[in-house]
Structure 1
């Protein structure tokens, strides 16, 4: 099969390069559409970034609305390796002297040696029957032993029931060891047809668990566990080692964890400054002498409104009868200059917390006439008007951008189709022109030849 020979431009001088230049001129409107699409996409992405930053600011503020941020407690012990405490937010700050005379231990049953010399724990014992375990509460479980079971599989069967019985099993020196998962003086009973074969009957040794004994500020206490939750309200005491004598003790202080408040305030200030700086970059009118300095959202009134309102709301006073604090500067947060960047003086905050923590809590958030009022609800209600997934400003703008992009994509698709047809038209038209010029040249040559022949005949 022979391919068609393309004579485009042979006679007219208008070749493919000429057509490409014509099409380049025809595609100028497409460049404008593409540029418009890029601009809208950049604006859409900028608003998405703003939404992310506002959402982060929203979450940082919520931490300041949570009372547990301000009421968290921490403990310090003179020796955490002997005794420590953990306290919840409701615990009362105080100091405690603790002496530990004994720790709680668990009951364990040590069976006699089952394996003979040379036997392995995985060897079959060729036993058929049952053993029955009964815990301190009277809960019992019967375990079926089969001919193919080894010492290892028997202990595995016991451990499969640990969640039910609270009794675990291990193997030491060819013996079955049964241990209560709970500490204190508790019973473990073993019975069944194979109790003697497994050396858990007359051959067993029982070590009963003991209770923990300690003193708190001189008061003697005894408990069945080393983790005690019912001696000091809202405080857990963790016993780890015993003291050498009764005169020794560890001092544990329960204090307010103001570090948590300081960290929360720092996080808010940092996120606020970062968010506001990002917004300023996006709506900046730029420097005419500096290329690409104009922000992608320059002139966007919604963004300018967001920036100015947030800046005003952060520093403006609040009206709240439940606190004497009127604005955030009283807690060490203030603007550094006309730019509105926030700075944080934590000592001022700590002074306010030490004087009246409730006063600080109520400034950030308090219940007033059945509604949340204060610094955090005020800001977050406004931020939510932008980031709300149902009717927020960002959502509405994003949908508008998507509609515009959809329309531009449709225009680009139509334009490209038209350009394909246009190129076909130019190619066909100039091909016909070349053909016509070739035919005209042939006719001219024929006519010239005829005239030459006529002149010769004379």
Structure 2
């Protein structure tokens, strides 16, 4: 029967009563837990804000990159015939290109080789050698053994292709040799020492079809150009011309090289979207909420640092910029303006495109340019410097905030641990105390019963 508790059997103070006492004792724990939950919410909110600000920081860095403003694009009237790729240094212009001939590779197609059952893995019974060479004077000796098959001979040619640049394939019982380099070139084949007729047995002599490689022939704005490749990067400075097909006589394609305004337009739109998203998120965390609705307030409601961030971001984006290098004084002049009293931004890309068409350098200088002291005084730099004061991994405000909250959480965790340990002892004390009370009351009842029995016995004798 050991271990069975009869607590409350005499005193009426049972385990349920002790649980109610402990519930009252644990009231401070509720406050500690609620405080921990609130601080955790604040810490998570700052982490989310840091992530959003970092994204905004990266969007602004794109607007500080000169490539965003100087990128060029090339548009062809028919990309299937001729196209261009450009670097940021390409000079804008219009190019009329007529393609007369594409560059091609030299090749040799053997005559049909007699194969047993048409099987390329059957031994040919040929023994000898031949030398294969390219137009650069590089050659390689191919030794043929009696047990070789058409497939193993092709493999030997391919093994030497790192040196010769000539590869071999098998098509319809024919050995096809192809030079990997295009242009006016040829493939040379000679029998091995002794002229043992190896080439003839492989159909690579009189019965072979030989095709010489050709150079690309085309004109650019009437200027004739000849190159040994269809990818020409030295005809127009900072431009690569890609030839894919030929024209009929008198035909040509027009390729327009111009400033790639889409790259900057996309960068500004992404900045506006991220700014709006970040500001909306901050406003949610600052919300006062409804006093009648518990938990409706934002996690950082009333936080002075976040309120300062919110107002400063809005001011930096919409205020006038004193930039000695650009006539653009605020971002609304290139299409970014507020649409409501909350400061939400809207972007009209046509205004930016118009400004770029007039003076692209003026637009770039607005976003990023240095003063006489070498300091970047552009819009993007000014805003990014402020954002960096919050997100910096070394001494950013958010880092300091989250570290302080983390220390508070650790302190609260220790308080909760200590409190819980004290509650365990307190509950054990109540159980012990009320168990002792039950024992005492049981003994008192027993003594009262004995005393009543003695008195009854004495009364009986007296009668």
C-alpha distance in structure 2 between counterparts of 1:446 and 1:334, whole Å: 98
34-43 vs 102-111, greater mean Cα deviation: 102-111
8 Å contact kept, 2:131–2:190: yes
1:232 lines up with 2:231 in the alignment: no
TM alignment of 1:226-375, pairs within 5 A = 226-245=230-249, 247-368=250-371, 369-375=373-379
Shift of 1:96: 1.3
Task: For structure 2, list consecutive stretches of 5 or more residues without a partner in the other structure.
Answer: none
C-alpha distance in structure 2 between counterparts of 1:20 and 1:132, whole Å: 99
C-alpha distance in structure 2 between counterparts of 1:3 and 1:445, whole Å: 26
Residue equivalent to 2:183: 184
8 Å contact kept, 2:109–2:176: yes
Residues 131-167 of structure 1 show CA distances to partners (whole Å, capped at 9, x for unaligned) of: 6554333445566777776543554454455455433
Shift of 1:50: 0.6
1:402 lines up with 2:406 in the alignment: yes
1:207 lines up with 2:206 in the alignment: no
183-192 vs 428-437, greater mean Cα deviation: 183-192
Residues 331-365 of structure 1 show CA distances to partners (whole Å, capped at 9, x for unaligned) of: 12122233222222222211111110000001100
Residues 379-404 of structure 1 show CA distances to partners (whole Å, capped at 9, x for unaligned) of: 11111111111111111111111111
Residues 188-227 of structure 1 show CA distances to partners (whole Å, capped at 9, x for unaligned) of: 3456869546555666443121111111111221111111
C-alpha distance in structure 2 between counterparts of 1:15 and 1:302, whole Å: 53
Q: 1:439 to 1:45 in 2, by over 3 A?
A: same
TM alignment of 1:44-63, pairs within 5 A = 44-63=43-62
96-105 vs 174-183, greater mean Cα deviation: 174-183
Number of residue equivalences: 456
Q: 1:240 to 1:42 in 2, by over 3 A?
A: same
Aligned-pair Cα RMSD in Å: 2.5
121-130 vs 443-452, greater mean Cα deviation: 121-130
C-alpha distance in structure 2 between counterparts of 1:452 and 1:147, whole Å: 134
The DSSP-based 3-state class of the residue aligned with 1:248 is: coil
8 Å contact kept, 2:115–2:124: no
8 Å contact kept, 1:84–1:238: yes
117-126 vs 40-49, greater mean Cα deviation: 117-126
C-alpha distance in structure 1 between counterparts of 2:132 and 2:7, whole Å: 100
C-alpha distance in structure 2 between counterparts of 1:317 and 1:415, whole Å: 56
